[in-house]
Amino acid sequence: MAIVTADSCKYHMAIDGGASKTELCVFDPVTKAESHFFSGCSNYKNPESDTKKAIIDDGIARVFAEMGIGPDQIIGLVMGLSGCDSQKDHDFFMSIANLSGVSRERIYICNDCELPFFSNGKPPGLSVVAGTGSIVTGFTKSLSKARSGGWGSAISDEGSGGWIGLYVIRDLLRYYDGYGEYQPIFGIIREHLGEAAFDLMPGIFSQSSLQEIAGYARLVMARAHEGDEYCRAVTASAAELVAEISWSVYRKMGFPDEKSVDVVMSGSLFYSPLFSETFKKSMMSRVSISNLNFCGEISSPVMGGIALSCSMFG
C-alpha cells in the first residue's frame, strides 16, 4: 500500500478577496480536506493600500508555511478579487500572484463576483451580489460571461448597501439643513454613532468610509422588518435596482432561450426577507418564461474558487 505524504500531494487553492477581508482555501482532491485561512483587505483601489501584505505576506506565504507545502504542489490557483474590473487591474493582481511561485499558466484571476455562483449554481446562470457594492455576472454553458454594475460607489453599485447608506444619509442631511422631513431611522443612526446631537453628524459622515456608510443599511433593513414605511420603501427600491441590473445581464446572455437559469444570490442584503422577496418578484415579472431557479448562498464563495480550479485545471 502506497503511503501518501505531504510532499506528493497536489492541492487546489482559491482566494476570495474583498473590501473587508480575504479568505484563502486549500483543497485536497484526494481526501476532500479543506483548510481555510483569513487575512486582511485585498481591494487595491486605494493605491496606498497594503494589498501585497494582505495577499502574499499575510496570505499565500503564511498558508504555505503553516501547511508545509510549496507552490509546485498547487494544481490551480483561482483568485476572485474585489476591484478586479479591467485589464490593468488583472495585470496588477497577476503581478502579485506571480510572487507566490505558482506557475502563471495555473492561475486564474477574476472579480470576486464570480466565486459565489460556482459555489452554489451551475451554468447557465447569474451571480448576483448585493453587499457593500452590487454587481451581476452571467455565465453561459460554455462559460462565456457578461457583467453589469460593480464599477464603484461614486458611479455605480445601485441598490447596494453603500447605495442604501448614502440614500438615507442624504435625507438625514436634508433634514439637518432644514428642507427635509424627519424619519425615525435618523435617531437610530445617531444612537448608533453614540452622538447626542445632530450637529456633529455631518462632520462624521464626511469622514466615513464606504464600509461604514454601507453599514447603515443593516439598521435600515432592521427597521424595515419592523414595519417602518420609509425604510421599507428604501429597501424595496434597492432590491428593484439590483433586479434591473440582473435583468440587463439576463438579456445580454440570451437566457430567455434557456430552459433553466440558476440565479445565485449572495451578499448581506439578501439576508433581508423584504429585499430578497422583492428582488425575486421583480425578476419574475420581467421574465416571460418561468426559467429562473433562485439559489441562496449556501456555501462560502471561496469554495466556488475551488470548484473553478477543479474544472479549469483538473
178 and 91 share one domain: no
CB 185, CB 228: distance < 8 Å: yes
- Residue 3 has what pLDDT? 38
Please spell the DSSP secondary structure of 77-114, one letter per residue. EEEEETT--SHHHHHHHHHHHHTTT--GGGEEEEETTH
Give the count of beta carbons closer than 10 Å to the beta carbon of residue 37.
Answer: 18
22 and 56 share one domain: yes
User: Taking 80 as the threshold, does the pLDDT of residue 146 lie above it?
Assistant: yes
149 and 189 share one domain: yes
pLDDT per position as a tens digit, 42-90: 565 554 455 556 677 678 888 999 999 999 999 999 999 888 888 998 9
Looking at the structure of the chain, the number of domains it has is 2
- Residue 6 has what pLDDT? 46
Band of residue 1 on the pLDDT scale cut at 50, 70, 90 = very low
Asked, for residue 281, whether it belongs to a domain, the answer is yes
Average pLDDT, the chain: 89
Number of H helices, E strands in the chain: 11, 10
pLDDT per position as a tens digit, 264-281: 999 999 999 999 999 999
Q: Which domain holds residue 22?
A: 6-112
148 and 179 share one domain: yes
173 and 279 share one domain: yes
pLDDT per position as a tens digit, 204-240: 998 898 889 999 999 999 999 999 999 999 999 999 9
H or E element at residue 112: none
- Residue 73 has what pLDDT? 95
62 and 22 share one domain: yes
From 112, 135, 163, give the residue that closes a domain.
Answer: 112
**Owner of C-alpha cell 464599477:** 151
Taking the C-alpha atoms of residue 63 and residue 67, their distance in angstroms, rounded to an integer, is 6
Q: What mean pLDDT comes out for the span 119-144? A: 93
Q: What mean pLDDT comes out for the span 8-33? A: 87
172 and 46 share one domain: no
Asked, for residue 313, whether it belongs to a domain, the answer is no
CATH of the domain at 284: 3.30.420.40
From 67, 89, 112, give the residue that closes a domain.
Answer: 112
